[in-house]
Amino acid sequence: MGEVRAKHVAIIMDGNGRWAKKRGLPRSIGHQRGVEAVRRLVRGLEPMGLECLTLYAFSSENWKRSEDEVGDLMNLMRKFIKSDLPDFVANDVKLHIIGDWQALAPDIVEMLEDALAQTAGGSKRLAVALNYGAHDEIARAAAKAAEAGEVTAQAIEARLDTADLPPLDLLIRTSGEIRLSNFLLWQAAYAEMLFIDTLWPDFTPEHLSQALDDFARRERRYGGR
């Protein structure tokens, strides 16, 4: 049996708050350590041969959290772009952003536009979901399809935020929760899923590498035989 390697993996990075709580630390520290896990993962991607990694960083429902927590998350985003953009450029990473990111604070939108421009020539794709909700994404895509006078599954799919990315192979969620929380609902139709108990700040490139080996052993059928 020939092994098929995953090209596009998406991760719901969950469990920062619980990681902090377990240690008697504020949630903000959990988020900081979560950012470090992202950095570690992006730096460790090279040997895995992925075409695209998509990370769920902030959902359209995460605005419901306290003002302090939302503020902490936005500040971490600012800090991360500033500190890691040169690394992305040096490492041939091409940044994509999915979700309604234009609705974020104007200074963040500006930083993201700059990051997109600076990484446009990269070949390893990193997609970050910011202010992302699948219902919103599908509704926006359907509205565009309707405007073009063609409301078919194909026409909607071609207008999703992920239209430029390869088809989703594997969706991973950390922290033991077994739900999608409005992430990539359309794209997950035939994706493989993996739910692991590890809390996001403890996630390492080895976890991803293991998930990819696990994926390669699965048999995907897409309804046929």
* Contact footprint for ligand IPE (CB under 6 A): 12-18, 34, 56-59, 62, 73, 175, 177, 179, 181, 200
Cβ distance to ligand IPE smaller for residue 156 or 183: 183
Cβ distance to ligand IPE smaller for residue 177 or 214: 177
Site string for Mg ion, 14-33 (x = CB under 5 A): x-------------------
Cβ distance to Mg ion smaller for residue 15 or 95: 15
14 among known catalytic residues: yes
Q: Cβ-closest residue to ligand IPE? A: 17
SS3 sequence of 48-112: HCCCEEEEEEEECCHHHCCHHHHHHHHHHHHHHHHHHHHHHHHCCEEEEEECCHHHCCHHHHHHH
CA of 193: how far to CAs of 80, 83, 120, 208, in Å? 28, 32, 30, 13
Burial 170-182 (b: 16+ CB within 10 A, else e): bbbbbbeeeeeeb
Terminal-residue alpha carbon distance, the chain: 15
Question: Which is catalytic among the residues 62, 91, 100, 136?
Answer: 62
75 among known catalytic residues: no
Smallest gap from Cβ 89 to ligand IPE, in A, equals 25
- The residues assigned a catalytic role are 14, 62
Q: Which residues bind Mg ion (CB under 5 A)?
A: 14
